[in-house]
Amino acid sequence: YPIWFGWGYKIWPPYGNQEEMEITNGVAKTDADGNFSISFKAIPDETVDKKNQPIFDYEVTANITDINGETRSGQTLVAVAYQALQLNISAADKIPADSINTIKIGSVNMNGLFEKSTVELSMFRLQEPGRIFRTRYWEMPDQFVMSKEEYYRYFPYDAYADEDQVGKWSIGPKVLERRDTTTASGDFNFGQKALAPGWYKMVVTTRDKYNEEVRAEKYIRLTDSKENKIDEPILLVLDKKIAEPQEKISYRIQTGFDKIWLIQHLSRTGKDRSIQYFDITGGKPITNQITATEDDRGGININYAFVRQNRVYSGSEFVNIPWSNKDLNISYSTYRDKLLPGAEEKWTMKISGSKGDKAAAELLVSMYDASLDQFKAHNWNPLSAIWPGNSERMEWTGSSFASVQSDVRVGYTYPYQEPEEKTYDAFADFGWNEGGSQRVYKLARREERSAAAPVANESLDSFSAGNLNNALAGKVAGVQVRSEAAAALGRESTVSLRGENRLSAPGAVYVVDGVIMASGDNIDPNDILSITVLQAPEAVALYGAQAKNGAVVIVTKSGSGGKNKSPLNDIKLRENFNETAFFFPALTTDATGNVSFSFTMPEALTKWKLMTLAHSKELASAYSEQTVITQKPLMVQP
């Protein structure tokens, strides 16, 4: 992970009035793990009532500079509310009465994560107005010049006030009360009580950890196949919305009017569209049935329309017939999500059809360093997008039934007094911008922590028979050698290693074939097999306090096989840092649907992204992603 050394941030509050205001900004330094924390006052939008349980999202922008001087920016939203919990009710507006247990009730925290809670459910029957209202062409009036009874006598199909809105209907008696604990899946036990068809108000309440009440409400319409009288223009109820070929789909159409003439348009993927006409009488619903076929994959659309009381009523229902026969399944027979760097691996995958049957397929498999997704996320799309869906819908327009507006002008004029215009002195801004913002960066001093630095073999070949210290100059980064002119004054040349926390000792120690020596003046450069320069922390860990200013570890040709062998010779350096572990563009399954491949894992200690795309000759496909981590059994990090 990267360790960030400097960052700047600024925080903006929610703005219901579209006005931005910077709450705070600052500069700080991250810890060794790259983490940082900030604190700010969550200023709410006080124009929003607390009882409505608002959630305010605060935008946090961070500009971070790393040790190399590169700057990256990021944004996130922090959700803050008066309550520490959210309740939600997931259900369609209209559901069959015997399917009430399909309603989901969830409880999550401000980050959207599931949080277990004990909730109380109450359901109230609504007092329906007992009449069907047509869509009004004007807004609800704020002044009334006639009573509701007189208005209904002249306009029996128009709403007098707000009685056409479900949320304004009177609440009747409580018909169901349950207390249960929420689950991650959202399943809730509604019990076995049967509820009559009609409109209901569902209320779910609980309390958060601060004892604040949390509440969720929803209005739902329960339907019943045996229901004959309704107070709605039309009601179309399907027994299923997803079906496979050879399954039967039944649906029921009924109306709250005394009689309608309905046009039904049926659109099917592999067949010509069909139109049917029905005379439907109130209290006498009609039923119909469709048998799905292979040609219907992509879906069936049922569109309808009728005219009543100078209004066009139309709608549609979609039955999904999925392309499930074009789905493949990818399973991993031998696969590990934690590997050693440089490990030799052989993995096996199994490809099967949508029903678990054997499938002959070709695979595209690759694994790469997941950190590359910071620049651009990589993924492959399965072939499912090529299979069409039935999007054909009949659009019904009521251009012949339009609203007509008239203006009644009152012939009065009012001589308003125009106020005298006033002007005020203003400060000269001289370029000052109160609405501007400043991004502040802080770049901390880079602490040099070099690991062991070996000298390249070609550099060793260029050593002359002269002084070894002078020969090291310019060969290894971080090495400072006192000049030969200083050495000619009768003092030995010394080697200093650049870095922070330099102590008072004159220079680094020499370790020749495992033996610590005071200087390297008497070492024959022609006898040197390898040189490794260690900074102080690594040197002290191996050779104690006498190496507090670093060490130059030398292995000679004459002594490399002796008993004074350097402990660094046993350390195998990692060399393979490929960003792509493997890329196999055309693997094929065997007769059983299995495919195997071998690879050598790169030696980088990181997280890897494994992507697999499988497809068959029939263009069935599947896509899968997995994560793999390479790590040592024991790792020490500063």
Give tens-digit pLDDT for 251-287. 999 999 999 999 999 998 877 788 999 999 988 999 9
Report the distance separating Cα 68 and Cα 54, nearest Å.
43
Angstrom distance (rounded) from CA 459 to CA 224: 89
Q: Is 380 helix (H, G, I), strand (E, B) or coil?
A: coil
Bigger pLDDT: 241 vs 462: 241
User: Do the domains 234-322 and 327-388+576-630 sit in the same CATH topology, yes or no?
Assistant: yes
From residue 420, alpha-carbon distances to 414, 423, 552, 585 in Å are 18, 10, 88, 80
Residues 6+ apart with CB under 8 A from 129: 163, 164, 169, 231
Phi, psi of 473 (to 5 degrees): -60, 125
Residue type present at position 57: D
Q: Residues 619-630: pLDDT tens digits?
A: 999 999 999 999
Tokens 């599947």 belong to residue: 622
pLDDT the model gives residue 568: 54
Q: How far apart are CA 177 and CA 191, in angstroms?
A: 9
Give the whole-angstrom CA distance, residue 462 versus residue 283: 103
CA 480 from centre of chain: 51
Tell which residue, 510, 478, 511, has the closest CA to residue 496.
478
Lowest pLDDT segment from 98-107, 140-149, 353-362, 392-401: 392-401
| Weakest mean pLDDT among 43-47, 117-121, 444-448, 625-629 | 444-448
- Predicted confidence at residue 558, as pLDDT, reads 75
Quick: pLDDT tens for 608-618. 999 999 999 99
Amino acid 564: pLDDT: 47
pLDDT digits (tens, 9 = 90+) for 409-429: 656 666 777 777 777 766 555
Lowest model confidence (mean pLDDT) among 56-65, 168-177, 492-501, 611-620? 492-501
Determine the 3-state secondary structure of 581 from DSSP. strand
> Average per-residue pLDDT in the chain?
80
Phi, psi of 201 (to 5 degrees): -110, 125
Strands (E), 31-149: 55-65, 71-81, 86-90, 94-96, 104-108, 118-127
The yes-or-no verdict on residue 437 having pLDDT over 50 is no
Q: What DSSP character marks residue 455?
A: P
**Residue 373 and residue 257: Cα distance in Å, rounded?**
59
Q: Average the pLDDT over 34-42 and give the result.
A: 85
Tokens 């049926």, residue? 266
CATH number among 2.102.10.10, 3.60.15.10, 3.40.50.2000, 2.60.40.2950, domain 234-322? 2.60.40.2950
Superfamily of domain 453-570: TonB-dependent receptor, plug domain (2.170.130.10)
pTM of structure: 0.60
Residue 1 confidence (pLDDT) above 50: no
Query: What is each CA distance from 187 to 103, 104, 107, 111, in whole angstroms?
Result: 7, 5, 11, 21
Mean pLDDT to the nearest integer, 36-49: 83
Is 86:111 a contact under the CB 8 Å cutoff? no
Q: Does domain 327-388+576-630 have CATH number 3.40.640.10?
A: no
Return d(Cα 18, Cα 28) in angstroms, integer.
Answer: 30
**Is 21's pLDDT higher than 80?**
no
pLDDT of residue 505: 41
Mean pLDDT of 310-337: 91
Q: What is the pLDDT of residue 616?
A: 93
- The domain limits of the chain are 6-81, 86-223, 234-322, 327-388+576-630, 453-570
pLDDT at 128 over 70: yes
CB 623 within 8 A of CB 380: yes
